[in-house]
Structure 1
Amino acid sequence: MPPNVDVRVRRTKTAILIVGEGPTEKAFLQYLQEIYISREADVAVKIECGSGGSPQCVVEKTMHLRDNRAYDRCAVVLDAHIPLKPDRELKKLMKKRPPVEIILISPCIEGLFLTILQHPNFSRNRASVQQCKHEFEAHYLSDVQKTDKHSYGRIFPRHLLDSCRGSIRELDTIFKAMQV
């Protein structure tokens, strides 16, 4: 082989599918992907929207997306206020390789946001979904802004997310699913 030939070895990236329950989850996940995962990373993360509906519908859509491509890992981010009640067949399909990891956010994604931001007098244990949505939209991002990944940079700088990772289980679980 001539000495001047550039031989590049192509590395295989770990392919990860993460499906957010709705457009707010998708936008936030895309924001995290943008600030934490570079092109040079050993992972390729695909973020999709489950389009709302019941948790079962979102999981079924996740499995459909998973089965159409060769993903190494698969997760779905769901609000915990509506319980996921998979039947026997759905449970069996969820265990298919790669298994679908369920990440439950209690009570909802806006509750997670308010916890990260340490919103005054806020307790996720006592807050309803409606209270979380109202507080977040009134003080931080409107309903329209929540679906734009660029809106999150203003309120969630990387250093804030890094500092909260160890103390907020759901945030840490999302990062682990992304292999960050």
Structure 2
Amino acid sequence: MAKRKQIRKTVSTSLLVVGEGADDKAFIDHMKRFFCPRSCGRTAKVEAGDGGSAGNIIQNAIRSFKAVDYDKRYLVLDSDLPPTNAEMKKAHQNGYKIILWSPQCLEGALLDVLGERVNDHETSQDLKRRLHPRLDGKHTDMNSYQTLFPEDILATTKNQSVGSVKKVLLDK
């Protein structure tokens, strides 16, 4: 008698992560290749917000992805100009959890991952000027982050915001 091949259905979690802009999308996509690869049993869609204020990004994400059914939704925003309490409440009411890059912005978080001090007087633009020339290409290309931020560095980082994004991608 021939053995029957069992077909197992796996339950897949679908995840939406919306960053502020194209550089956030590129970096989160870089992280995704390590912590949520295609074979992991989850699907993760990373999108770029249109930039602007936190309120605009929240509103655009709510409007743009309202019709798409995701199990979990996250917004990853800069902390130098964080959302107001009303904007945070609106995001939560629409199923979004918020992660704030710290210190200040994506570039501040990444400099912190590298063990570099981010000074209070530095603006987000200052931090971009410090980090971007060290990347392997354009800051909007996920491959540009490979040399400075390999998997082992990201897996062991003490930066809380990068660690939070990692946990989201790992679904923990």
TM-score (norm 1): 0.84
98, 104, 123: which one aligns with 1:102: 98
Check the 8 A contact 2:13/2:71 in 1, yes or no. yes
152, 155, 159: which one aligns with 1:159: 152
Could you list the structure 1 runs, at least 4 aligned residues long, displaced by more than 4 angstroms after superposition: none
Matches within 5 A, 1:87-126: 87=86, 91-92=89-90, 94-96=92-94, 99-105=95-101, 106-119=103-116, 122-126=117-121
Give the counterpart letter for 2:99 in structure 1: I
Q: Which residue of 2 is the match for residue 147 of structure 1?
A: 140
1-structure distance, mates of 2:38, 2:62: 26
Shift of 1:124: 4.8
Unmatched runs of 5 consecutive residues or more in structure 2: none
Q: CA RMSD in A?
A: 2.2
Alignment identity in percent? 25
TM-score (norm 2): 0.87
Check the 8 A contact 2:78/2:100 in 1, yes or no. yes
Matches within 5 A, 1:5-24: 5-24=4-23
Matches within 5 A, 1:51-62: 51-62=50-61
Shift of 1:130: 2.1
Check the 8 A contact 2:15/2:73 in 1, yes or no. yes
Are 1:84 and 2:83 matched, yes or no? yes
Check the 8 A contact 1:107/1:124 in 2, yes or no. no
Are 1:169 and 2:166 matched, yes or no? no
- Aligned residue pairs total 170
